[in-house]
Structure formats: structure tokens, C-alpha cells
Structure 1
Amino acid sequence: MSFATPSTPRGRRVPRLRGAVTAAALGLAPLALSVLAAAPASAHGSMGDPVSRVAQCFAEGPESPRSAACQAAVAAGGTQALYDWNGIRIGDAGGRHQQLIPDGKLCSAGNDEFKGLDLARADWPATAVHSGAYTFKYRVTAPHKGTFEVYATKPGHDPAKPLAWSDLDLAHPVATSTDPVAADGFYTFSGTLPDRTGRQLLYAVWQRSDSPEAFYSCSDVDFGGAAAAKADTVKAAPAPTSAAPTPTPAVSTPSEQQIAAGADRSTVEHHGHGDDDPSTSAKPMPPTPNAPHPAGTSVPLAETGTPTGTSYAAIGGAAALALGSAALFLSVRQRATGRSRTAR
């Protein structure tokens, strides 16, 4: 293959040759980079409304949380868990939630870093709710396709006991949503809260569809009713001492300013915009029609349709093409330079 005609003056052959090969190399390299940029990023987040335990404690301030429950969580697991509020996850979950997370460790997803969130207490800050329609808002720092499922504890739940899978009504999720649209930092989807009274807990599972990775969160809620009235009666009784109890702070989700201020302290990869964890695959999950479901049925929790990411075969091919063109440029340039020197 010749890049110049025989009639071309020797003095002009090398510049033309360089220009042609350089254009090819520079034209293919951006293509490869653009394809590489299309590779899937990891998703991170936690329930924002009703606010999750970890998001609530982060909003209170990791170094000096105001509520007794969040103070106890920091005493048990340290402050880092709160800075990593959007990273309660299992990289290779693939729908095997009950298999991988033992009873008593649902809120931490079995991760020792977040063990303070598993503390069995009846004074976690709780969102006031009522039975019926509810709009859930999931705070997300890296959007991705997947399915959300939210479960409520059964009637008679005792928040002072460690949370077990059997405490959740897994047969009747209160909300299920596949690929909701993220807007203003939240995934928003609808559900229906069951008929409950008093303090309950909502357990959210976000299973990505383009990766086995899944995220988990516990949100404390208060339905009021008989249990709340009983608690108010107890509070109205004469206090044994003159010291007034510390009021539980109002529930709140982390603000954009708090998230930005705490980003440098986070150990979640790229602060929630990417994932270097080798246990998290970016390869699309194969169809699993019989994948285990938290409720013990055959409904596939993780399957949500065709992934939008570019295949790794295409990525590898584009990268190899760019490298090959660069190598070709160097090789032809060396030969052309040699010929020029010989002609002299």
C-alpha cells in the first residue's frame, strides 16, 4: 500500500505520509475513547423518604450526631459508615439477598463497617406515615437501571429486637419499581403502605439489572395509632427526676451541601460515580427466569430488560483499533524517515 504517487517529489513524501497516518490515528482514538466512556458506571444511594437510618445519621452530622440512636451507631461502628452513607451494598448479590445477609444484619447488609445500623432500638428517628398511598424518594448519587422493592415489617414488630428476614412481609412488597427516572438527585416511585400501628421498619432493596450489585437500606417509620397513644400515656407519667429527656431530632435527608462537604471523607469509589470493586461486574446479567426472590417465589428481582451499555467486545475492538493505528503510524514514520535519509 502506497501513501504517495511515484511522481511526488521526495521532499514532500514524508509530510504527506505523516499527515495521512496521523489523521487516521487521531480519528480512531477519539472513537475508542468515546466507546470506553460508554461503559457502565456503578450506582450508589439510599432511601431518602422515608429517610434511611444511615442517611438520617449522616444528615445529623457524622462527628456529632444529635439523636441517641445515631450516637450509639457511631460508638459501635465509627463515623466512616456515615460518610459512606450511599454504599451499603453487596457487589455480587445477583438477587441472593437472603442467602448472603444473615438475620440481625439486614440494615448493614452484613457489612461490618455499618454494624451500628443493626442496633435494635426503639428510638431511631422515624418518619411519620399512615396507611395508604405513599411516594418513595430514593437518594441516588449514580443512576443506573434496576428494580426497587420495599418491604414492611409484619404487625406486632418489636423494634427493640434484632431485625430478621422473618420479620418482613416478603410476600407483599409495599412498593416495586423498575427503571424509574432519576430527577433532582432522587428516584421517585409510588407504593401503598399497609395497615399498621406504631413503629415499623421499611426495608428497601435496589438490585441493578446490568450488574449483580445490590443496595440496601432500613427506614424507621411511625404509623401512630394505638401504640403511639400508649407511648404518649407513658410519657405523660411523672418523671422520676427533674432532668428532661433529650428530644429525638426531626427526620431529614442529607442536603446537597452536606453530601458535597462529606465527599472527600467517603471511601465509596469515586464518591458514587464509578466502581473499582472487583466483586462488582459491569457485564450485563444474563436472563434468570428462576432467580431467587426475597419472598421465595420465582419472580426475577434482578432482571429489568436489555442493558443500555456498550458490549465489552466492542470496547476492546475499538481500543485495539486505536492502538493498532498508533503502532502503524510509528512504523510507517520510521520507514519513511529511513528512506529520506537514504535518498540524501
Structure 2
Amino acid sequence: MYADTPTRRWTLRVVTPALAAVVALVALFLSPWTNSASAHGSIVDPAGRAYGCWDRWGDDHMNPAMEQEDPMCWQAFQENPNTMWNWMSLFQENLAGNWQSAISDGNLCSAGDAQGGLASSLDTVGPWTTTDISNDFSVHLYDTASHGADFFEVYVTKQGFDPTTDALGWGDLELVETTGSYPPASDITFDVSAPGRTGNHIVYTIWQASHLDQTYFICSDVNFG
């Protein structure tokens, strides 16, 4: 089911000589973040904001059409390309579960600016590209390092919240799923139910990785059909 993984698509993209310069650029951007783990992960379905930008534009990031077709990814790339390239590193460490004290309202999608100022564009309010889902849907984590999970918490914005005009705060979210633990794996998928939603929303996933106190915070823009 997941044969077409992010790693496979990335491999297919970078083997061409025309993209050799991009590979070097990616290596340059990623090297500062190899501190406590050599690789990380993100929610790829429904796509997290940074991952979605990379998935749609990573091999076509110089295309001027991005500005009109995907303006939120375009503004993120203009602010700092590393927001796109480093899609797998939206984490904070040693929070001991005190997430709301570490991440203020309006800064949830950047994981409290986890990239030291490089991912703040993920908090920009606007028409982010959405994934169409039903009220019963699955969340798919792709983890390049197979950290496993102590648990996931999945929140969905309350009906009436408009992600195109409203900054996301903790009070806008409703907890809809708390999972148990998962052993190390590159792909983890679990089911979620968020009844009563229609239209555009944000799915906010908190992933507590198992290898140390490292917590990921990921916004996925969705449209409930």
C-alpha cells in the first residue's frame, strides 16, 4: 500500500543530473539539524504543511507557477527554503508533556518555531492546500528513522474555525484520538473519527517519539467532504 513512499519518490527525483544541484542544496540545509537524531518524520497523509510543500514542489521549486497555484507554499519557500526541505524536523525536546507552555497560540504549526526562525511561515494564515477526507479517516506517519511512538494525540479544529482567516490556538482544537504505543517502524497508520465537521479544518497531530523526549507537532490542512 505504501510502496510509493517519500523516500522512494525522493530517490526517483534526485537521480537525474539536472537535480544534482538540488541534492547539494538539500544536504547543506539539513546538516545543522542532525543533532539528537540523524533523521525524523512527519504526517504524510493527510499531508502536513511542510511535507505537502516538499511533495508538490520539491523537484520543481523554481517554477514561478507556485506563487499562483500554491501561494502558501510559495511564501514559505520565499521566507526560507529549509521550511520545505526540512519537512521531517518539526519537533521540540524535553518538554515533559508541557506543550501549551512551550508553544504559544498562533505558533502551533511551526511547533513553536522549532527550526529557530526557519519554520515560522508555517503559522501564516491563508489558503493552504487541503487534503479531502471524510469524518472517519486515517493518519499516516512516515518516519525516516523508525523511532516508534509512545503515543499520538490527534486534534481537529472545532466547527466554525476558518483556517484561511484564523490563527490557530489551543482553544480552537478538540482532542479526537489518543493512541497507545507503537514499536519502531517507518510507516505507522491509525484510524481517527472527527464527527460533525464539514469544510476546511486543521488536523493537529502530536507525535511523542519513543527514542527520547522528542515531540513532533504537525498541522495538516483538510477538507471534510
Q: Which amino acid aligns with 1:168?
A: L
Task: State whether residues 152 and 208 of structure 2, in contact with CA within 8 Å, keep that contact through their aligned partners in structure 1.
Answer: yes
2: CA distance, partners of 1:153 / 1:91: 25
The secondary structure found in structure 2 opposite 1:146 is strand
Task: State whether residues 180 and 188 of structure 1, in contact with CA within 8 Å, keep that contact through their aligned partners in structure 2.
Answer: no
Q: Which amino acid aligns with 1:161?
A: D
- Could you say which residue in structure 2 is the equivalent of 1:130? 134
CA deviations on 1:71-125 (whole Å, 9 max, x unpaired) are 011223x10121111001101222111010011010001212101110101x211
- Could you say which residue in structure 1 is the equivalent of 2:173? 168
CA deviations on 1:223-278 (whole Å, 9 max, x unpaired) are 13xxxxxxxxxxxxxxxxxxxxxxxxxxxxxxxxxxxxxxxxxxxxxxxxxxxxxx
2: CA distance, partners of 1:44 / 1:201: 22
CA deviations on 1:127-181 (whole Å, 9 max, x unpaired) are 11122x3221111111223211110001100211211111111xxx222222235
Q: Which TM-score applies when normalising by structure 1?
A: 0.49
1: CA distance, partners of 2:76 / 2:95: 25
- Could you say which residue in structure 2 is the equivalent of 1:231? none
Q: Which amino acid aligns with 2:141?
A: Y
Using the TM superposition, give the Cα deviation of residue 43 of structure 1 relative to its aligned residue in structure 2, in angstroms: 6.5
Task: State whether residues 180 and 189 of structure 1, in contact with CA within 8 Å, keep that contact through their aligned partners in structure 2.
Answer: no
Find 1:146's aligned residue among 146, 150, 162: 150
Using the TM superposition, give the Cα deviation of residue 182 of structure 1 relative to its aligned residue in structure 2, in angstroms: 5.5
Task: State whether residues 134 and 191 of structure 1, in contact with CA within 8 Å, keep that contact through their aligned partners in structure 2.
Answer: yes
Q: Which amino acid aligns with 1:95?
A: G
Task: State whether residues 94 and 207 of structure 1, in contact with CA within 8 Å, keep that contact through their aligned partners in structure 2.
Answer: no
Q: Which has the higher strand share?
A: 2
- Could you say which residue in structure 2 is the equivalent of 1:72? 75
- Could you say which residue in structure 2 is the equivalent of 1:113? 118
1: CA distance, partners of 2:86 / 2:158: 29
Segments of 4+ in structure 1 off by > 6 A?
Answer: none
Q: Which amino acid aligns with 1:138?
A: L
Kindly name which structure, 1 or 2, has the bigger radius of gyration based on alpha carbons. 1
| TM-aligned CA distance change 1:117 to 1:218, over 3 Å | same
2: CA distance, partners of 1:126 / 1:182: 29
- Could you say which residue in structure 1 is the equivalent of 2:162? 158
The secondary structure found in structure 1 opposite 2:161 is coil
Alpha-carbon RMSD across the aligned residues, in angstroms, is 2.0
* Structure 1: gaps (5+ residues): 1-39, 225-344
- Could you say which residue in structure 2 is the equivalent of 1:191? 192
- Could you say which residue in structure 1 is the equivalent of 2:95? 93
The secondary structure found in structure 2 opposite 1:87 is coil
Give aligned-pair identity as a percent. 35
* Structure 2: gaps (5+ residues): 1-35
Report matched runs for 1:1-344 at 5 Å. Answer: 44-62=40-58, 63-64=61-62, 66=66, 67-76=70-79, 78-111=80-113, 112-121=117-126, 123-131=127-135, 133-144=136-147, 145-159=149-163, 160-169=165-174, 173-181=175-183, 185-224=186-225
2: CA distance, partners of 1:177 / 1:148: 5
Q: Which TM-score applies when normalising by structure 2?
A: 0.73
Q: Which amino acid aligns with 2:198?
A: T
Task: State whether residues 39 and 88 of structure 2, in contact with CA within 8 Å, keep that contact through their aligned partners in structure 1.
Answer: no
How many residue pairs get matched?
178
- Could you say which residue in structure 1 is the equivalent of 2:8? none
